[in-house]
């Protein structure tokens, strides 16, 4: 089964914001385990952005405009792009969806990207992945102008991120940092294990959490499918970011007490008891791991909602940069 980023989805934390908690009783001594509620936090962020946009409109400033290119009819991609469009409507952004058939040629797609690069009304745009197999994804991502690359995937922006220079951060790692910061999860000096080495999540996550920043200053280890004695490594982790793409891979016997768990993955797992015929599961076996965790993200409702929220923050940032120039 193919794992994909969850479809749901630097403002200070409101002083009155309270984390969502649940009580778990593994022993007579009750242990409080805090759910990192990405859905709630993402809604708070979108509300904050909406207020910012209202102020921009009142001042006669340009409204942020986000565009998305969708090639083909992949169900997950269509759902995700539609969620972005709805989020734009909610917060007062302009949005444009460019829906192209799956037989679109690479040359035609690159021409459309160039059109958006030169369109002054569009502040930022994304090319929804995955693309049809006949199109070179790397060539496409390279074609997006770095100043409009709100996904943060262009090599220029990745390089700036690695050097801790101002740039667009990839939305999912950015969302994880924001979630940890808003819940005041201590990361400085902690042992962090990032499971997965993708360009979208694993690699940028490892870089960002090792940098001098809030939700950073950690000692980071990256593990992957070729790592030996993986469980021995995860058992030493204070914080685990699971983005390995294997359903319920991380189990309770692979973690220590009071671990912080960030579950990035989501997979459709066959389940005859569900009307849909499947249930959604992350890369973490929630049932066993949550018994040891101090903080944990749910699936769905954890990391996924944060991805769209941070994409919107990146779009707001580029709009403000362009307005000030």
Number of CB atoms found within 10 A of residue 92's CB? 16
| 22, β-bridge pairs | 33
Summarised one tens digit per residue, pLDDT across range 280-317 is: 899 999 999 999 999 999 999 999 999 999 999 999 99
Q: Which two tokens stand for residue 110?
A: 């690159």
Return the SS3 of 230: helix
* Residues 6+ away with beta carbon under 8 Å from 157: 146, 149, 167, 168
Does residue 13 carry a pLDDT above 60? no
Summarised one tens digit per residue, pLDDT across range 126-175 is: 999 999 999 999 999 999 999 999 999 999 999 999 999 999 999 999 99
> What pLDDT is stored for residue 97 in this prediction?
96
**170 or 28, which is more confident?**
170
Share the mean pLDDT of the chain: 90
DSSP 8-state class, residue 61: P
Neighbour-count burial for 204-242, b at 16+ CB within 10 Å, e otherwise: bbbbbbebeeebbebebbbbeeebeebeebbeebbbbbb
Q: Are the beta carbons of 84 and 115 closer than 8 angstroms?
A: no
Catalytic one of 39, 46, 84, 112: 84
> What pLDDT is stored for residue 278 in this prediction?
87
Q: Is 128 a catalytic residue?
A: yes
* Torsion sign (Cα): 299, 301, 306, 308: positive
pTM above 0.75, yes or no: yes
- Residue 31: pLDDT band (50, 70, 90) is low
Q: Is 74 a catalytic residue?
A: no
Among 214, 185, 201, which Cα is nearest to 307's?
201
Distance CA 272, CA 94 (A): 41
Summarised one tens digit per residue, pLDDT across range 187-205 is: 999 999 999 999 999 999 9
Q: Are the beta carbons of 127 and 113 closer than 8 angstroms?
A: yes
Catalytic one of 74, 128, 285, 313: 128
Query: What mean pLDDT do residues 97-125 have?
Result: 97
Q: Is 32 a catalytic residue?
A: no
Catalytic one of 151, 263, 283, 285: 151
Among 282, 125, 264, 118, which Cα is nearest to 203's?
264
Does residue 239 carry a pLDDT above 90? yes
Does residue 12 carry a pLDDT above 80? no
Question: What's phi and psi for 47, nearest 5 deg?
Answer: -65, -40
- Residue 266: pLDDT band (50, 70, 90) is confident
Domains and CATH numbers, the chain: 4-36+183-305 (3.40.50.720), 60-145 (3.40.50.10860)
């Amino acid at each position: 089964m193919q794992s994909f980023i969850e479809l749901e989805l630097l403002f200070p934390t409101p002083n009155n914001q309270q984390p969502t908690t649940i009580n778990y009783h593994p022993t007579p001594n009750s242990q409080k385990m805090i759910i990192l509620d990405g859905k709630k936090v993402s809604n708070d962020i979108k509300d904050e952005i909406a207020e910012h946009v209202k102020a921009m409109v009142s001042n006669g400033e340009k409204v942020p405009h986000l565009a998305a290119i969708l090639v083909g009819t992949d169900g997950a991609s269509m759902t995700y792009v539609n969620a972005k469009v709805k989020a734009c409507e909610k917060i007062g952004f302009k949005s444009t969806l460019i829906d192209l058939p799956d037989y679109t040629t690479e040359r035609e797609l690159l021409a459309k990207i160039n059109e958006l690069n030169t369109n002054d009304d569009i502040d930022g745009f994304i090319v929804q992945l995955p693309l049809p197999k006949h199109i070179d994804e790397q060539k496409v991502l390279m074609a997006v102008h770095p100043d409009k690359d709100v996904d943060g995937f262009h090599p220029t922006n990745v390089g700036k991120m690695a050097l801790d220079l101002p740039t667009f951060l990839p939305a999912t790692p950015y969302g994880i940092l924001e979630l940890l910061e808003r819940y005041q999860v201590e990361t400085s000096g902690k042992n962090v294990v990032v499971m997965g080495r993708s360009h979208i999540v694993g690699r940028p996550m490892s870089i960002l959490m090792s940098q001098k920043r809030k939700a950073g200053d950690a000692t980071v280890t990256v593990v992957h499918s070729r790592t030996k004695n993986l469980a021995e490594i995860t058992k030493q982790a204070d914080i685990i970011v699971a983005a390995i793409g294997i359903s319920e891979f991380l189990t309770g016997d692979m973690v220590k007490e009071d671990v912080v768990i960030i579950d990035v993955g989501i997979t459709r797992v066959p389940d005859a008891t569900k009307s849909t015929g499947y249930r959604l599961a992350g890369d973490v076996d929630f049932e066993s791991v949550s018994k040891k965790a101090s903080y944990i993200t749910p699936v769905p409702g954890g990391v996924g909602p944060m991805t769209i929220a941070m994409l919107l923050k990146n779009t707001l940032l580029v709009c403000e940069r362009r307005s000030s120039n």
